[in-house]
Amino acid sequence: MFTSLKLSKKLSVNGFEGESEEYHRDRTANVEQGVSYPLIKKYDILNDLCVKYAKEMFGEEEEANPYNCGGVPYEDCENCSLVGYIYHSENILSLLQQNKQDEAEEYLWENCKFNKNN
């Protein structure tokens, strides 16, 4: 699955410049007659953003992983954290496997380093 135009634009505007041979034609842009609509790179969500560029998207910091605790308090659990890019990539994969692309893109944006709110 490729990124939607909406997410592709957010990533582009906020400085992400990964390699891609796929493009959206942004028909929402205001252009003068006779001028073609701008092209915005689109990315394979799993192969590009969650694998190839995962460290750039999510960082390498440890993230709490409440699903591995098995009821043990987080502080006492040895399996309760994952490197950020693995943790977030697994969550996105899970959403995509459930055919929830909109939710996966929202999750990706809310947790990626290119979102200036992070």
Confidence of residue 12 (pLDDT cuts 50, 70, 90): very high
pLDDT of residue 11: 97
Is residue 32 a part of any domain in this protein? yes
Q: How many domains does the chain have?
A: 1
Q: Is residue 118 part of a domain?
A: no
Residue 13 pLDDT exceeds 60: yes
For residue 68, pLDDT beyond 80:
no
Residue 73 lies in a domain: yes
Range of the domain at 37: 5-111
The predicted pLDDT at position 30 comes to 86
Identify each DSSP E strand in the chain by its residue range.
23-25, 39-41, 62-64, 81-83
**pLDDT tens sequence across 16-59:** 999 999 999 999 888 888 889 999 999 999 999 999 999 899 88
The answer to whether residue 40 sits within a structural domain is yes
Q: Is the dihedral of CA 43, 8, 13, 115 positive or negative?
A: negative
Query: pTM, whole model, 2 decimals?
Result: 0.79
